[in-house]
A and B are shown apart, each in its own frame.
Chain A
C-alpha cells in the first residue's frame, strides 16, 4: 500500500452486485476519514458484460483508476473474472475469489474455452489466493443475493481498518433501508469472514 493508498479492485459480471460491494467499501473508507475515489468500467455491463470497479482510498487520491500491477486486493465474484484481472494485482497482493463459474454464450457456443481451473492458475503465479464457494454459503443462509456481503466479509481482515467497521457500515445500511435484511447480512458477513482465511 504505497503512498498510504489502498487499491481494491472488485470484479465480476453485470448484475452480480460488484458496484454495490465497491460502494460499501468506498463509503466505509470515507467514514474513516480517508479521501476516496471509486470508478467503474461497466459500459453495457447490465447485458452480461465484464464489470470492474476500482476503489482507492488514502490521505489524498488523484487518479481514480488502479493501474496494472497496483491493486492490493482483488475481489473476484466469478472465477474466470478473478483470473482476467490478475495482471492488475501486485505481486504481494491478495486475491479473494468466488469459485462460481458463469459461462457466457460465446463459450457455450464453442467459440472460446473457459479456463480449466482458474483458481489453480491464479495460485500458480505465486500470489496469495483465497477461493471458496460464496454461492453455497449464501444458499445455506437461504438467500442467493447474500454473495455480495459474504465476499465483503471475506476480505474484511485484509483492510487497513478493523473488520467490524465494514460490517457495521453494511449492517447499518440495511437497518436504515431494508431492516428485515440486516440480521441475515450480519450473519453472511461473519460467514464470509470465516471463509476468507
Chain B
C-alpha cells in the first residue's frame, strides 16, 4: 500500500503531479472517479484506485468516463474524470452540453496535455476547451499546485454549478516535487438526484433558456478570476520585461529571469483582464509565455493590450529555460551564450517491440505478404510501421483503423484495384472505439481483413486492465468480453472469425493470406498476453548454434530485440553474384523463450541450451 494514502495533514512528500491529484481528490471527498488510460494522465486513476473511499474505474473510453462522472455529479457526489489531451476530443460531446446544464456535485475534468509529443499522435492545447465549452480552467505549475488546485476546483465547480477543467501537462503530471498535505478527507455529498426535467433534459426547449445563464456564468467567473489569489503578481526589480504566464512555463520564466515581474495565472480562464492591464502598465514590455497556442496572447490583444509572445517564442513543443533564453535575452540587449557543445550525434534508439511480444508474429506475417494496404491504430502495434517490419501505412486516432480501412476499400483508386485492405487494432482500442467501425463495415457490406491483436492489456500505457482482460482497475475479477462472439454479434460470419496463436508463424502467415483473399470481412483474433504483464510466462532462453547458422537472416526479420547480428559475411555464388550473409545471436538475458524465431530457422540452429520439455502455456485470464 502506498504510504501517501495514510499520510496525515502537515506531512511532506515527494510526489508526481498525478499522485498529488489523487491525494487531493481523496481529501476533497471525491466519490466517483473514472478514466481511460493515456499518457501522461494514466497514473491519476492508478493512484486514486489506492484510496478505498473513492469508487474508481477504468471506463471503456474517455466519453464514457466523463458521462460516468456527470451521472455521479447529478446524483450529488463529487466526481472526477481524467484523460490525456486527445481523450478530450472523444469526451467533448458529453461535456459540451453538460456545461450548459451545469452540475450538482463538484465535477472536475483533469486533462493532461502531452506537450512535445513524448507519447502521442499530436499536440493539442486543451485550454481551448474552456473557451469552447464555457468552463473555467485551473492550471497548476507543479505537484503542490496540482494538489491545491484540485481541492479548489471542486469548490469552484459547486459554487458556479459548472464543470471545471484542470489543465496539466507532462511536466506537471510526471514531475516529482515536494507536496505538503493540508488536510484529510472531508465528505461532500448531496442527498441524491433531484428530478428536474427542465434542467437535465437537454431538448431544444429546455437548452435554449440555459444559454443566457451560461453566459452570465462566464461573466461571474471572470469576476471570480479577477479576485482570485491563484492569479498572483510576483514583483520584480527589473521592469524592462514583465511576463504573463501559466502552468510549468511559470517555472521556466522564474528560473531564467528571476528578477523580472511575473503575472502568474493559476485560474487562467476566464482571464483576469483588468489586473493584467494594471500589471502591463507597470512594465516596459509584456511577454506572454504559454504552452502551446497563443490563446491568452490573442485575448489580451483583443482587450487592447500591446503584448508580445509567439513572435519570439515557439508555436509548438515544450518550453524550457533553454528555449526562453535565446528567444528573450536579445530583446534585453543581453548576449546569449550558446552552450559550448553542440548536439551529440549518437545513433537513435527508436522504441521497439519487446522480446516475445505477441505482435511480432502478425507483423512478421504482414511484412511477408505483398499487395496490402495496412490501416493501423493507436497502441504498441503502431510500432509495426518501423524497422524491420515497415508494415503499417496509417495511424491517426483510437478506433480509426476499421472505419478508415472501410473507406479505403470503398474509395479505392486504380492502383489499389488488386490490393487487399487490412485493419490492425488491439483489444483495448477495439473496445474503446473500434467496434463501431466493424459494425459499420458489416452493415455497409465492406471488405476488410481485420487483425484484432488481443494481448489482454492496454500495452503502451503500462499494461492496464480493460473489459477484455478479465480484471478491473483494482485487479479484481471482472466479466471478460468474448471477442469472437462480439464479432459474430456485429455480423461477421462465423467462418470468417479465425482464432490464432500469434507465436505459430506458419499458421499466422497462412491465415492472413487466406483471409485477405476473401471477398467479405474477416476478423483474425490473436490470443497471447503482453509479455510485460503478469499473464505472460517466461520460459528458458534460446541460443544460436554458430556451426549451424547459415546466415539467412530470417530470424532477424522477426524484429525481436533479443536477436541481433553477430557478424556479416559477403559470399560470391557460382553465378558470380555476391550476397551478404547475416549471422545471428540471441541475448540470453533478453530472450524469454517464446520460440517464435525457431519457426523462422530452416537449419534448426536455434535451440534451447539444455534438453528441456518444450511447453508453451498461456495463463488462464485472471
Contacts and interface: CB of A to CB of B under 8 A. Distances in A.
- Range, interface on chain A: 35 or more
A118 B256 CA distance: 33
Contact of B561 (A44, A48, A81, A91): A48
Interface of A (DSSP majority class): mixed
Given A27-B14, A105-B387, A105-B561, A62 B255 contact: yes
Interface in B441-466: 460, 462
Interface string A24-52: 00110010000111111111111111100
B222 to A, nearest CB: 29
A125 B342 CA distance: 12
A43 B354 contact: no
Given A87-B344, A109-B556, A110-B565, A49 B251 contact: no
A107 B388 CA distance: 12
Nearest to B382: A44
B380 interface: yes
Contacts of A47: 351-354, 380, 383
A149 B387 CA distance: 34
A106 B387 contact: yes
A30 B39 CA distance: 27
A87 B255 CA distance: 20
B119 A13 contact: no
A144 B321 contact: no
Contacts of B383: 47
A87 B343 contact: yes
B19 to A, nearest CB: 12
B589 interface: yes
Interface in A78-102: 80-81, 83-87, 91
B341 interface: yes
Interface in A45-91: 45-50, 61-65, 67-69, 80-81, 83-87, 91
B195 interface: no
A19 to B, nearest CB: 10
B577 interface: no
Contacts of B532: 46
Contacts of B344: 83-87
A133 interface: no
A157 interface: no
B349 A104 contact: yes
Given A105-B387, A109-B556, A109-B565, A39 B174 contact: yes
Contacts of A91: 340
B426 interface: no
A110 B570 CA distance: 14
B134 to A, nearest CB: 33
Interface stretch (B175-183, B308-316, B400-408): B175-183
A108 B566 CA distance: 8
A140 interface: no
A122 to B, nearest CB: 10
Contact of B341 (A27, A69, A105, A115): A69
A71 to B, nearest CB: 11
B423 to A, nearest CB: 22
A16 to B, nearest CB: 12
A114 interface: yes
B171 interface: yes
Interface string B337-358: 0011111101111111110000
B322 interface: yes
B564 A23 contact: no
B14 A67 contact: no
Contacts of A27: 14
B348 to A, nearest CB: 7
Contact of A23 (B176, B380, B387): B176
- Give the top 10 A-B pairs by smallest Cβ distance, nearest first: A43-B118, A112-B347, A47-B351, A69-B339, A63-B255, A44-B351, A84-B346, A62-B255, A108-B564, A43-B119
Interface of A: 13, 23, 26-27, 30, 35-50, 61-65, 67-69, 80-81, 83-87, 91, 103-115, 118, 125, 144
25 contacts: A37-B142, A37-B176, A39-B174, A39-B175, A44-B119, A46-B354, A48-B354, A48-B561, A50-B349, A62-B251, A63-B252, A63-B254, A63-B320, A64-B142, A64-B177, A69-B339, A81-B346, A84-B344, A85-B344, A104-B349, A105-B387, A108-B564, A108-B565, A109-B388, A110-B565
